[in-house]
């Protein structure tokens, strides 16, 4: 069986943006750039070059300043270099969500421990932009209708890689959780889905309580990793 790194690399290289998007909405697909895809593949090779079953953490969709640059979910250029140890050609900027997530990763035990147990993905593996700004897949009803079949296909493909289905962690607040719950009720992918607050919301509006949210994340991660039942 191919390693998870091999399967993930093929998945991102072979993504095709959904058709029929509403006028004025563009797609954020950084991996179509060979240089970005090379960095993404190097990241996968470093942390996922095995067939160990992992749990999924599903965010909303990539944004312009994190995965939109590096191709790696919740990972801006600074975190890619300083935490993941990967050299890259990007400007060394950071991003709020990435800063929070890598505090969580450090608290969990570091990148090797975290990525040995989890993979950070997104409900929609591609991002969306309107008027030069990030757009969540659920922010526009016509966009949601257009991308739902793409989301379902993408999640099915990833689950075929052997991810664990007993427990999924959903990052991104109520709307992302509600949509994921709805499609999970239809397809029965996960036994349990735990919602977690969006890192950007925490960093912008609840920064004084950041330590509490980091502990909340780590507790949820440890609970999931400690669950031994596996389909």
What is the predicted pLDDT for the residue at 165?
Answer: 97
Tokens standing for residue 48? 């996922």
d(CA 41, CA 35): 10
Question: Which of the four pLDDT bands, split at 50, 70 and 90, describes residue 231?
Answer: very low
Quick one: which of 74, 41, 36 has its CA closest to 58? 74
Quick one: which of 111, 115, 98, 32 has its CA closest to 71? 32
Averaged over 185-189, what is the pLDDT? 97
Question: Which of the four pLDDT bands, split at 50, 70 and 90, describes residue 230?
Answer: very low
Please give the share of the chain, as a percent, with pLDDT higher than 90: 90
**pLDDT tens-digit profile of 27-43?**
999 999 999 999 999 99
What is the predicted pLDDT for the residue at 223?
Answer: 96
Q: Quote the mean pLDDT of the chain.
A: 94
Give whole-number Cα distances, 224 to 154, 187, 203, in Å. 23, 21, 24
Tokens standing for residue 107? 């608290």
The answer on pLDDT for 61 being more than 60 is: yes
Prediction pTM value? 0.94
What is the predicted pLDDT for the residue at 89?
Answer: 86
d(CA 112, CA 115): 5
Averaged over 171-196, what is the pLDDT? 96
d(CA 97, CA 24): 26
Rounded to 10 degrees, the C-alpha dihedral 179/122/187/183 comes to 10
Angle between helices 141-159 and 173-187 (to 10 degrees): 60
Non-local CB neighbours of 24 within 8 Å, separated by 6+ positions: 130, 131
What is the predicted pLDDT for the residue at 182?
Answer: 97
- Lowest mean pLDDT segment, chosen from 26-30, 57-61, 114-118: 26-30
Question: Which of the four pLDDT bands, split at 50, 70 and 90, describes residue 113?
Answer: very high
Query: What secondary structure, in 3-state letters, does 133-158 show?
Result: EEECCCCCHHHHHHHHHHHHHHHHHH
The answer on pLDDT for 188 being more than 70 is: yes
Averaged over 18-26, what is the pLDDT? 93
Tokens standing for residue 217? 């994340």
98 alpha-carbon distance from chain centroid: 11
The secondary structure of 167-208 as a DSSP string is -EEEESHHHHHHHHHHHHHHH---S-EEEE--HHHHHHH-GG
Non-local CB neighbours of 136 within 8 Å, separated by 6+ positions: 60, 61, 128, 175, 176
């Amino acid at each position: 069986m191919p390693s998870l790194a091999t399967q993930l690399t093929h998945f991102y290289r072979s993504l095709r943006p959904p058709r029929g998007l509403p006028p004025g909405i563009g797609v954020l697909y950084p991996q179509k750039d060979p240089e970005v895809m090379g960095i993404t593949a190097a990241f996968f090779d470093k942390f996922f070059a095995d067939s160990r079953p992992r749990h999924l953490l599903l965010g909303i969709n990539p944004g312009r300043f994190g995965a939109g640059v590096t191709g790696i979910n919740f990972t801006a250029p600074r975190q890619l270099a300083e935490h993941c140890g990967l050299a890259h050609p990007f400007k060394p900027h950071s991003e709020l969500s990435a800063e929070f997530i890598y505090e969580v990763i450090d608290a969990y035990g570091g990148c090797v421990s975290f990525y040995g147990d989890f993979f950070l993905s997104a409900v929609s593996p591609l991002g969306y932009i309107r008027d030069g700004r990030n757009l969540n897949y659920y922010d526009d009803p016509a966009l949601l209708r257009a991308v739902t079949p793409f989301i379902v296909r993408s999640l099915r493909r990833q689950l075929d890689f052997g991810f664990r289905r007993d427990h999924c962690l959903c990052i991104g607040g109520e709307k992302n959780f509600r949509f994921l719950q709805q499609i999970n009720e239809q397809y029965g992918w996960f036994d349990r889905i735990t919602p977690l607050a969006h890192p950007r919301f925490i960093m912008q509006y609840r920064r004084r309580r950041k330590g509490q949210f980091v502990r909340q994340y780590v507790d949820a991660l440890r609970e999931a990793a400690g669950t031994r039942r596996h389909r």
